[in-house]
A and B are shown apart, each in its own frame.
Chain A
Amino acid sequence: MKFTLHIWRQENAHAKGHFETYNVDNISAECSFLEMLDILNEQLLNDHITHPVCFDNDCREGICGMCGLYINGRPHGNDDGITTCQLHMRKFTDGEDIWIEPWRAKAFPVIRDLVVDRTAFDKIIQAGGYVSTTTGGVPDANSILIPKHKADQAMDAAACIGCGACVAACKNASAMLFVSAKVSHLALLPQGQVEAADRVQKMVCKMDELGFGACTNTYACEAECPKQIKRQNIARLNRQWIGSLFGRDRKDN
């Protein structure tokens, strides 16, 4: 297969970016999208023309959340429930033009080419995305009984890989799906109850502070999430948030 690639090139965070066009040929349909970019880079290096195209990637099996490209207008490309590294060239037609961009969001500044800085997500988790336990001094694991369906729901929410596709998909660059997944995961479990009210307050405030937009319930995030995190989590976050304003365990009560 052959393709014409239009790729966003930007030397660093402060430089002006632009699209550059490249051609690749002899690509196997079994090849993954990132392997296709590897082939392009090998080509660029062998031709000594330019610096290879920088893109983040690591596990290449859809779990680390490191890769994330905006491909033909969709985060992680034209397939459902996958990350960019799980996208294969058989999903494209021979001779197709492919537009490749980085995540576009104020809170995710570009580092180089297709690589963006997602440390804002870490800062949101640091604001309260945990149960405050220290090592040791915890009860036996089976002393905390959790109904299976609750544990399953918590697992559904906890499956988030923090890739940022939800933010990239959102016209407001809101991080609501990401934040709500963590809030839900912990709110659904008894271990997370103690700090639930405080947690949702702190995480939402941090999200706003870091420049993510507001949620206007269009659910583009849900449609593009590689782990198919559900929008019900956003509803749960909103309930938690409102509850936390009136709850008795609010800090300043």
Chain B
Amino acid sequence: MKLDSKIPEGPLSEKWTNYKAHQKLVNPANKRKINVIVVGTGLAGASAAASLGAMGFNVDIFCIQDSPRRAHSIAAQGGINAAKNYQNDGDSIYRLFYDTIKGGDYRAREANVYRLAEVSNNIIDQCVAQGVPFARDYGGTLDNRSFGGAQVSRTFYARGQTGQQLLLGAYSALSREIARGSVKLHERHEMMDLVVVDGRARGIITRNLVTGELERYAAHAVVVASGGYGNIYYLSTNAMNSNGSAAWQCHKKGALFANPCYVQIHPTCIPVHGDYQSKLTLMSESLRNDGRIWVPKKKEDAEAIRAKKLKPTDIPEEDRDYYLERRYPAFGNLVPRDVASRAAKERCDAGYGVGTGLAVYLDFADAIQRLGRDVVEARYGNLFQMYEKITADNPYETPMMIYPAIHYTMGGLWVDYELQTTIPGLFAAGEANFSDHGANRLGASALMQGLADGYFVLPYTMQNYLSDQIYVGKISADTPEFDKAEAEVRDRMNKFLEIGQNATEKHTVDHFHKALGHIMWEYVGMARNVESLNTAKKEVAALEARFWKEVCVPGKAEEFNPELEKCYRLADYFELAKLMISDAMHREESCGGHFRTEHQTEDGETQRDDQNFMYVGAWEYQGHDVEEVMSKEDLKYEYITIAKRNYK
């Protein structure tokens, strides 16, 4: 398929201005006649629905939780980037753009990222106007902190709960529109399928999670803002209910899926402690502002610590290896996430890990001595408390133990400059699309992207699409396409419920999900190679075959049935896993979060192959168990000099 990214004409800094000046609009009287569906109420979905509703469109918004405020954006801790340059430290739109492209290992689209940097400042203004209580300095102005991959302080924050406060801001704007009647909220509703009529996205089939009823919603356009697919690994920092199914249904209906193998592994999470574990908890990247990461220099010390014969505080300064400061003197503990994660894995694999052997220290002793306990508490108090509640260790007295964990997926539905997928009328926003982070996302950029897409991009670009939709009239949900989609969903539900009834060997959904997660983490995780990917391919196929014969789901489809929900989401993960493996296999280079052990420099850094792989790989679904077909979108860098990504 030929991919047209629809990048506007003109110099980089004028593209967005030019686009807005020449795009088509919908007049206020006509907006009332247009229906839009938004799936997901995280930062991207809530902000898009609130903005579109305020403009006058009729919006239906859906979430799987009991309230829009529960979307997983709420768990983002550290902050949101913007190029305000309030600190006078040399920041600018260009620098934020440059850092984001470099952080993404030169695998993101220039024009999209520049626009993101451009609107970043509007986001901060918007959120403050809503009453988001960002941290402030004594003079009453906004405060900033530093994040990985940048040499300026451009991150705005609200203690360790920035995502929560930004989401509540978007939720409040959304609530206002719901009260005004422009947005209709459907909580505990899950999108089960996308309905395409004459090649355009025209609606969705949903399942009411309380009653199990299938419902139909028709609209002139559909926005999917359903987040990422990190839970494919079972253990991740994602919420339990986060899933990739809404996006995957769009993919099955013809939307291309881009760069599925780009997965972000966050370096600072609480390590795994047992096989009953259900999720991994993130410790904010902001901790790396003041925390120093180390492992013992001597193997025998590491062994003694693992055997609980030595405590970290027993290790003298000269016997500690602050390996990030050693390897990357320029960025030190603030190297980007992929670099920090790999460095931790390298030390642990070499036998220097602490705890269970799969952990390193994040130490605040220096910061407490330098700044005083009060200052450290004011900055990170809630994170320290959270850590103590989980581990029963006091980080003021002993270093935290951390290890990398799956956190974010850069891959997602392919979108053009307008955030439109390859299905006309279907848009994707936030983590659900692939567009802005390349092969690795910088910290505090997910919140920026979600809100940029929802507040400042979609409200413009969707109008360009909707301008000719005023002629088509109301879209009916009573058509053969809706009938067919609904029948397929119903059959699928029934199939899942039947498997267990007839099976001799039965297993729960979680049994299969844990097994899939294990395969993905071992063979398609932090380090990949031909051999591991081949193993993964075989094991996923075998596991999927067993799943379709042995999975056991209790109860009925027409009732509140969380096991059934988990089951249909897992079925999609099996297909997605196979696609991730194919994508990782074909990309014979290392870039960002995708590390192929065959392609590394002598000192263990990623080795890109710009000659052959400077493109976006977008995959097209061909049917169950049929190898997907890839199309390329070549990445052209006109305003940035490609360089080796160096943080030394």
- A-side interface residues toward B, CB under 8 Å? 12, 28, 30-32, 34-35, 38-39, 42, 45-46, 48, 50-52, 54, 56-66, 79, 81-82, 86, 88, 90, 111-112, 115, 117-119, 121-122, 125-136, 138-142, 144-148, 151, 154-155, 158-159, 161-162, 185-186, 189, 191-192
Contacts of B24 in A (CB 8 A): none
**Interface CB pairs A-B, < 8 A, 23:** A28-B274, A30-B273, A34-B278, A46-B508, A48-B506, A50-B554, A63-B75, A63-B161, A64-B72, A125-B175, A126-B176, A131-B172, A133-B130, A134-B173, A135-B126, A136-B122, A136-B126, A136-B456, A138-B128, A141-B124, A141-B127, A144-B128, A191-B131
In the complex, which residues of chain B have a beta carbon less than 8 angstroms from the beta carbon of A82? 389
Cα–Cα distance between A175 and B127 once the two chains are bound (Å): 26
Dominant secondary structure at the A interface = loop
Interface residues of B in 523-576 (CB under 8 A from A): 552, 554-555, 559-560, 562-563
Chain A residue nearest in CB terms to B47: A135
Q: Which residues of B contact A133 (CB under 8 A)?
A: 126, 129-130, 173
Q: A161 vs B165: C-alpha distance in the bound complex, in angstroms?
A: 10
Q: A42-B508, A135-B459 known; A130 and B125 CB under 8 Å?
A: no
Check if A64 sits within 8 Å of B141, measured CB to CB: no
Given contacts A12-B560, A66-B70, A81-B385, 14 further A-B contacts (CB under 8 A): A35-B276, A51-B555, A54-B560, A57-B240, A59-B70, A61-B279, A62-B386, A90-B392, A112-B560, A121-B67, A125-B175, A139-B129, A141-B124, A192-B131
Q: Quick one: which of B72, B129, B133, B140 has the most chain A CB within 10 A?
A: B133
Min Cβ gap A122→B in Å is 5
A interface footprint on B24-67 (CB within 8 Å = 1, 0 otherwise): 00000000000000000000000100110010000000000111
* Assembly CA distance A82 to B128 (angstroms): 28
Whether the pair A35, B277 counts as a contact (CB closer than 8 A) is yes
In the complex the two chains form, what is the Cα distance from A137 to B150 in whole Å? Answer: 30
Distance, CA A131 to CA B168, complexed state (A): 12
Instruction: A139 to B277: give the CA distance in the assembly, Å.
Output: 46
Inter-chain contact A148/B140, CB cutoff 8 Å: yes
B493 within 8 A of A: no
**A81 — which chain B residues lie within 8 A by C-beta?**
385
Point out which of B70, B84, B127, B165 has the most chain A C-beta atoms below 10 A from its C-beta. B70
Q: How many angstroms between the C-alpha atoms of A139 and B142 in the bound complex? A: 14
Say whether B386 contacts A54, CB under 8 Å: no
Report, as a range, how many residues of chain B touch the other chain: 35 or more
Q: How far is the CA of A223 from the CA of B506 in the complex (A)?
A: 45
Tell me whether B131 and A45 are in contact (CB under 8 A): no
A38 to B128, CA, bound (A): 40
A12 cross-chain contacts in B, Cβ below 8 A: 559-560
Measured CB to CB, the closest approach of chain B to A90, in angstroms, equals 7
Chain A residue contacts of B552, Cβ below 8 A? 45, 48
Instruction: Please name all residues of chain B whose beta carbon is closer than 8 Å to the beta carbon of A61 when the two chains form the complex.
Output: 75, 279, 281-282, 386
**Neighbouring B residues of A38 by C-beta, 8 Å:** 276, 278, 510
A159 proximity list for chain B (CB < 8 A):
159, 161, 164
Contact with A along B252-290 (1 / 0, CB 8 A): 000000000000000000000110111101100000000
Nearest Cβ on chain A to B106's Cβ, whole angstroms: 31
B239 at the interface (CB under 8 A from A): yes
Asked if B68 is at the interface of the complex by the 8 Å CB criterion, the answer is yes
Instruction: Compute how far the CA of A131 lies from the CA of B133 in the bound complex, rounded to whole angstroms.
Output: 13
Taking a contact as CB atoms under 8 Å apart, the answer to whether B140 and A155 are in contact is: no
Given A60-B278, A129-B175, A155-B158, the answer on whether A65 and B70 have CB atoms closer than 8 Å is yes
Are the CB atoms of B140 and A125 closer together than 8 Å?
no
Q: Which residues of A contact B139 (CB under 8 A)?
A: 145
Interchain CA distance A227-B455 in the complex, whole Å: 29
- Bound-state CA distance A64–B135 (Å) is 21
Given A61-B281, A135-B50, A148-B140; A155-B159 close (CB under 8 Å): yes
**Complex: A28 Cα to B273 Cα, angstroms:** 10
Please tell me if the beta carbons of A139 and B125 are within 8 angstroms of each other in the complex.
yes
With A127-B179, A141-B142 as given contacts, are A58 and B278 in contact (CB-CB < 8 Å)? no
Which B residues are CB-close (under 8 A) to A191?
128-131
Contact A119 B67 (CB under 8 A): yes
Q: Is B134 positioned at the interface, with any CB of A under 8 Å from its CB?
A: yes
Residues B128 and A141 in contact, CB atoms below 8 Å apart: yes
Which A residues are CB-close (under 8 A) to B241?
A: 58
* Contact present for A154 and B133 (CB under 8 Å): yes
Q: Which residues of A contact B385 (CB under 8 A)?
A: 81
Q: A86 and B386 in contact (CB under 8 A), knowing A45-B508, A59-B72, A135-B455?
A: yes
In the complex with contacts A63-B164, A88-B389, A56-B125 CB distance below 8 A: no
Residues of chain B within 8 A (CB-CB) of A189 are: 131, 133
Shortest A140–chain B CB gap in Å is 6
Contacting residue for B239 out of A64, A127, A136, CB 8 A:
A64
B74 within 8 A of partner (CB) = yes
Instruction: Pick the most buried of A64, A125, A154: most chain B CB atoms within 10 A of its CB.
Output: A64
The residue from A118, A128, A186 contacting B66, defined by CB atoms under 8 A apart: A118
List, in ascending order, chain A residues with CB within 8 A of B506's CB.
46, 48
Taking CB atoms, residues of chain B closer than 8 Å to A58 are 65, 70, 72, 239-241
The closest CB in chain B to the CB of A153 belongs to B133
